[in-house]
Homo-oligomer: A and B are copies of this chain.
């Protein structure tokens, strides 16, 4: 029950839909694909709360418990629909696309996918993405970055950082968006109510209030898009620097070693013994 949010106990170690073979699926009735498709329709139309096994069964014209023949538990279903979202972002051929274009396309594409299926956000922060579509995405990005000259350890860090930015950006953005959308208001009404709320919440922080006043006259969607682009540009600038370092090292014949540069502030997890 809601276990996928933050798994309490996992049935088998590392059990995942992807590690187990699916049912033969030779029957004319239910199939895993149909179930996933129907689940996504419910999710997109009415959000996570609307997706119950009974409801899903009803939509498919069958009993709720019949689903459990094709799917072990609801978590698995969630893994499947999550990967389906990753499948929505399509990337160009990494062999003929610059790593920067690749990164931009991924960022915008993934953001669009998340915006189109907002219910996926809590899932991404909850269960590892091991589905074929997620794998394909990572693989293409790795190929593009490798072709550009990124060498092994930084290569993965670079891709991970990019994904982290998109995810971390889109989450709060969608939190706002859905809160607004579900308020039942629109236009100036909404604007006024929002300002009142934010103003009250930030009443002790004049600098924050100032920011909000700046935004009020602009279309929030446009502001968000510009801000997203700003962050992406920052990241690309940083990655360019790292790429240059990689190329220098490769040119000088120095092997890549993870730089021990985690200096300054450290969390409790930073100083584990190095092997």
Instruction: Name which of A29-37, A54-62, A262-270 contacts chain B.
Output: A262-270
Contact with B along A85-98 (1 / 0, CB 8 A): 00000000000000
Residue of B nearest to A134 (CB): B201
Residue of B nearest to A177 (CB): B269
Contact of A172 among B124, B217, B224 (CB under 8 A): B124
* Set of chain B residues within 8 Å of A131, measured between Cβ atoms: 201
Contact with B along A1-21 (1 / 0, CB 8 A): 111011111100110101100
Copies in the complex: 2
Contact of A5 among B1, B5, B130, B155 (CB under 8 A): B5
Chain A residues numbered 183-207 whose CB sits less than 8 Å from any CB in chain B: 183-185, 190, 193-194, 196-198, 200-202, 204-205, 207
* Set of chain B residues within 8 Å of A112, measured between Cβ atoms: 267-269
Q: Are B183 and A172 in contact (CB under 8 A)?
A: no
Q: Are A219 and B167 in contact (CB under 8 A)?
A: no
